[in-house]
Amino acid sequence: MGIHSHANLFAPPTTSADGRRNLVGMSKEMLAREMAALGEKPFRAKQLWRWIYKNGVTEFAAMTDLAKPLRDTLDKAYVIERPTIAHAQESADGTRKWLLRLADGHEVETVHIPEDDRGALCVSSQVGCTLTCRFCHTGTQRLVRNLEPAEIIGQAMLARDQLGEWALPHEDRLFTNIVMMGMGEPLYNYENVAAALKIVMDGEGFSLSRRRITLSTSGVVPMMQRCGEELNVNLAVSLHAVTDELRDELVPLNRKYPLAMLLDACRSYPGANNARRITFEYVMLKGVNDSDADARALVRLLRDIPAKVNLIPFNPWPGSGYETSSKRRIDAFGAIVMDAGYSSPVRTPRGRDIAAACGQLKSESQRLPARERLAVA
Ligand code: SAH
Ligand code: SF4
């Protein structure tokens, strides 16, 4: 535990197999510097930016407002690359999961969850996770490294490709939101996540508003303030327990940043107000954290915080040792929270049949042998 957000574990190449560099993931400023080095005027960088992030093109040949010699020069030096799809699955409920292979062979998962007239993309921030929340499958994965900005924004670009939405008007799209709730702890890879989200939010490119982005953290207190100041995205906090004793066990990071500290950081999260509440995620574990007394204690903890509560039925995985609370229990718990004035929707599990639901993500190639898995659980 405790890998710092700057740790760069096994940094992968940002170049393609043939040595050309990937333009995806470069900030606007970096792209401008690249163009300046080629002797091009600053507006060329702007044109490129729009082709890459607004139109989603992957070939320089398609950039019709650039002169042919420049397109050739660019093609010799650069690529516009996404991670490759190792495996794609679609759930009976329309949820899609892509297992992505990265340049160094590591794998991560991205999930698209469509609704009637919108939809969220659940994006990963790390290969695996260094934290070991007891109920989370990702936490049992051994191999961990931070994703590069290109690998994070690449997930969003690949989803746009797969959904065929680049040319659609915004109101017709089914990928309208991003939730940083895939594999990994985003605030342990803050720099790269921030770089990717700044690209996503840029109005001349991918153009997703910060109001449509939610970052979920298990409670990396020292990074929360900065995240709010610099990115100002919606915050979700994985609470899951109302006493330090239980949270120490379920979310071991609590031993470092206990509840009082975490809730203080929430109280001072920049941009949190009654119009823009912090979401508290609470996984419902049968007989563990789901009593009426827990619900009442939760309400007391959240006093003075502009909060809403998201109740997540536990999604089982082999060897987890936990069960999902009954629907009746979840409803009773939710009613107490709601009576206290907090909205408390129950998150409908999506894509369970393809193991795409919260906490089920884990790359195939890195599953532990059953014996070790039991030891971890
Ligand atoms: N690392 C971050 C974001 C990824 S996890 C975090 O922990 O917040 C996204 C959400 O799924 C978290 O709230 C997490 O606690 C929850 N989760 C993990 N395992 C789960 C499971 N088996 N069933 C339901 N929710 C789970
Ligand atoms: Fe990591 Fe989040 Fe899973 Fe905990 S719940 S192990 S922080 S991905």
pLDDT reported for residue 10: 45
Tell me the domain boundaries of the chain.
Answer: 21-79, 84-376
> How far apart, in whole angstroms, are the C-alpha atoms of residue 182 and residue 52?
24
Residues 109, 148, 165, 281: which is the catalytic one?
Answer: 109
**Residue with CA closest to ligand 1 atom 12:** 238
Report the separation in Å between the CA atom of 273 and the middle of ligand 1, taken as the mean of its atom positions.
Answer: 24
Note if 115 is an active site residue.
Answer: no
Pocket test for ligand 2, best of 185, 193, 257, 358 (most atoms within 8 A of CB): 185
Q: Which fold has domain 84-376?
A: TIM Barrel (3.20.20)
pTM, to two decimals: 0.92
User: Residues lining ligand 1, CB < 6 A?
Assistant: 133, 135-136, 181, 185, 216-218, 238, 281, 283, 312, 314-315, 358-359
Average pLDDT of the residues in 299-303: 96
Q: Which ligand is nearest to the CA of 251?
A: 2
pLDDT(4) > 90: no
320 Cα nearest atom in ligand 1: 22
**Residue with CA closest to ligand 1 atom 19:** 359
pLDDT(13) > 70: no
> How far apart, in whole angstroms, are the C-alpha atoms of residue 152 and residue 139?
19
* 139-143, 278-282, 349-353, 366-370 — most confident range: 278-282
The CB-side HSE value for 29 (13 A sphere, CA atoms) comes to 2
Report the separation in Å between the CA atom of 175 and the middle of ligand 2, taken as the mean of its atom positions.
Answer: 24
Report the separation in Å between the CA atom of 201 and the middle of ligand 2, taken as the mean of its atom positions.
Answer: 25
> How far apart, in whole angstroms, are the C-alpha atoms of residue 32 and residue 203?
17
Q: Is 215 in the pocket of ligand 2 (CB under 6 A)?
A: no
Pocket test for ligand 1, best of 221, 283, 310, 317 (most atoms within 8 A of CB): 283
183-238 pLDDT per residue, tens: 999 999 999 999 999 999 999 999 999 999 999 999 999 999 999 999 999 999 99
> How far apart, in whole angstroms, are the C-alpha atoms of residue 22 and residue 13?
10
Long-range Cβ contact pairs of 49-54 (< 8 A, separation 24 or more)? 49/202, 49/204, 49/205, 50/204, 50/205, 52/23, 52/24, 52/80, 52/205, 53/157, 53/199, 53/202, 53/204, 53/205, 53/206, 54/204, 54/205, 54/206, 54/207
pLDDT reported for residue 372: 42
Percent pLDDT > 70 in the chain is: 92
Q: Which ligand is nearest to the CA of 317?
A: 1
Q: Which ligand is nearest to the CA of 187?
A: 1
pLDDT(351) > 90: no
Q: Which residues contact 67 (CB under 8 A, 6 or more apart)?
A: none
Note if 129 is an active site residue.
Answer: no
Pocket test for ligand 1, best of 108, 138, 281 (most atoms within 8 A of CB): 281
Q: Which ligand is nearest to the CA of 144?
A: 2
**Residue with CA closest to ligand 1 atom 18:** 359
Question: Which amino acid would we find at residue 94?
Answer: G
Class of the CATH domain delimited by 21-79: mainly alpha
pLDDT(374) > 80: no
Per the structure block, which two tokens stand in for 370?
Answer: 């059953």
349 Cα nearest atom in ligand 1: 24
112-160 pLDDT per residue, tens: 999 999 999 999 999 999 999 999 998 888 888 999 999 999 999 999 9
Average pLDDT of the residues in 81-105: 94
Report the separation in Å between the CA atom of 42 and the middle of ligand 2, taken as the mean of its atom positions.
Answer: 42
pLDDT(258) > 90: yes
135 Cα nearest atom in ligand 2: 5
